[in-house]
Amino acid sequence: MGLNGTHLCRFIIIGILICLFCLGCSEDIEDISPTTSETKVYYVSVEGSDANEGSFENPFRRINKALSMAIPGDTILVRGGTYYEKVIFPKSGRAGKTITLKAYPNEKPILDGTGLSIIGKEALVTIRNVDYINFEGFDVCNYKSSTPWVNINGILADEGASNITIRGNEIYNIEHNVALEDGRSGHAIEIIGNTSSVMQNILVEDNVIHDCNTGYSENLTINGYVDGFVIRNNTIYNGENIGIDAAGGYWANENPDYNYARNGIISENHIYNIENSLGPLGGYGAIGIYVDGARNIIVERNDVHNSDRGIGIVSESDGYPTKACIVRNNFVYNCWRTGVFLGGYLNYTGGGTYNCYVLNNTLFQNNKVLGYFDEVEGEIRLTENCFNNVIANNIIYARPGSEVFVHKYTSTGENNVIDNNLYYAGSGATTWIWEGEEYHEFENWKLASGADAASSNGIDPLLKNPFTPDLHITSTSPAINSGKIVSMDIHGEYDIDGQPRIINNKISKGAHQFND
């Protein structure tokens, strides 16, 4: 089967919505720095006093004191030092007058949870039912509990909070240190739409998240009634479960129509060492970037490596298939199991993956260990209920000894298009699996699957230095300008490096568009 225009219509409205959101987001970002004549600046210092007026010369001692004084348009600058308090934003800003809480220039304030109580679900920073808030430049750390069934968060935004920016923070040592059977759960950052008020214009960028014990939960989660978000340029590593999760189907919201995240972008993040083996879960089930029961999500230009699995557009929940998502222009390499995963979980739920694209990714030598069923999961894995998906223009470079390029497990699902890919294994061995049947000859695979009529096999893509790794293509790569164009809306404007994705109406295979 070849690519055709039937998939394009589904994404026209998505592209318009995402563009409109990005324009609105940019406007909000500019509003974060209002003019001095219209606003007031408060200062906080570990050497201050709450009896002070909050000036530079006489700062407040507590961050919450400054927040209680701030009105729309005000900025709070926090001097370096360690602050032992749970910060709660008590009021909203408004359009053009954001309330900003940020680090004083070139200083690092630390919000430290050491010794602070945790009852039920709590966070070191809570942004609840407020609008137009900016939180920037803090360490958020050392919030830990050994109490069963609490839910620990570094930063929590919920109850309809909108027009929120969380930028340039370092979040670490957020830990729920109990056994799995005692409800081990928590998040470095959780964005959860848990009311009938939609959360919109959420920007999470330039943060570093590491060494958090989240148990069954994730490091950075967007769940429930969140409509319009950007998760961009974050670094996440050393996590015992999922890196970034856009989720649906978990009853974050009691209204089924609101119970999933939608219309978001997950872009330019660097994610590594996301491994169940770092905690009591064990095994190899953690996924670097996970879209699970969410819809209309773009996952692009990310670097995901050395994790249990790379990128998943999957569903764990009946009634909440992952729909209308695009995974494009990503590097995924050296993961313990699959590179890109679609479908519902085998023998678990009826969820699946519908109307999605996996385009122009470079997958390199994943599958370092066998899967749950003692199988090679494959560089691209399709399990239950995959319908109307397109997998094309990818460079798929298999690991020696685990040379499974595409693995479709079951006969469920239909109308999936797999074509225009470049397959290579340096060992020369090749395997594709279609509905449980192995094929080692490319022609036999194409005949059985009806796929890959315009794909190539056995030709070295000539990556710059994959073992460094550097997965960019070189000037003589057969991937150059050999892909097939669907549309700019589907492929995206930029390649992995931020260079034009389509040049002179031509597109290369893989995540990198070589340009002299």
3-state helix/strand/coil string of 304-365: EECCCEEEEEEECCCCCCEECCEEECCEEECCCCCCEEEEECCCCCCCCEECCEEECCEEEC
Residue 406 placed within a domain: yes
pTM: 0.92
Cis ω on the peptide bond leading into residue 469 (within 30° of 0)?
Answer: yes
CATH assignment at residue 140: 2.160.20
Domain extent at residue 311: 118-459
Backbone angles phi, psi at 30, to 5 degrees: -60, -35
Residue 145 placed within a domain: yes
CA distance 501 to 481: 11
Residue 96 placed within a domain: no
Cα 426 to chain center, whole Å? Answer: 31
Q: Which two tokens stand for residue 442?
A: 């490319």
Residue 269 placed within a domain: yes
Residue 166 placed within a domain: yes
Q: Are 375 and 349 in contact (CB under 8 A)?
A: no
Domain count, the chain: 1
Beta strands in 384-462 (DSSP E): 386-387, 390-392, 395-398, 404-408, 417-419, 422-425, 431-434, 437-439, 456-457
Residue 432 placed within a domain: yes
Residue 416 placed within a domain: yes
CA distance 385 to 189: 31
Residue 65 falls in which region: left (phi positive, over 0), alpha (psi -120 to 50) or beta = alpha
Spell out the per-residue pLDDT of the chain, length 516, in tens.
445 444 444 444 445 444 444 444 443 433 334 344 568 999 999 999 999 999 999 999 999 999 999 999 999 999 999 999 999 999 999 999 999 999 999 999 999 999 999 999 999 999 999 999 999 999 999 999 999 999 999 999 999 999 999 999 999 999 999 999 999 999 999 999 999 999 999 999 999 999 999 999 999 999 999 999 999 999 999 999 999 999 999 889 999 999 999 999 999 999 999 999 999 999 999 999 999 999 999 999 999 999 999 999 999 988 899 999 999 999 999 999 999 999 998 888 778 999 999 999 999 999 999 999 999 999 999 999 999 999 999 999 999 999 999 999 999 999 999 999 999 998 889 999 999 999 999 999 999 999 999 999 999 999 999 888 899 999 999 999 999 999 999 999 999 999 999 999 999 999 999 986
Compute the CA torsion angle 396, 468, 512, 407 (nearest 10 deg).
Answer: 20
Please spell the DSSP secondary structure of 1-35, one letter per residue: ----GGGTHHHHHHHHHHHHHHHHHHHHHHHTS--
Provide the pairing of β-strand 287-292 with 244-247.
parallel
Residue 42 placed within a domain: no
Instruction: Provide, for the chain, the percentages of residues in helix, strand and coil under a 3-state DSSP scheme, each rounded to the nearest 5.
Output: 10, 40, 50
Please give the angle made by the CA atoms of 290, 141 and 86, to the nearest 5 degrees.
105
Helix H or strand E encompassing 66: helix 63-69
CA distance 118 to 105: 31
What residues are paired with 102 via a beta bridge? 77, 136
CA distance 244 to 237: 11
Provide the pairing of β-strand 75-78 with 99-103.
parallel
CA distance 446 to 450: 5
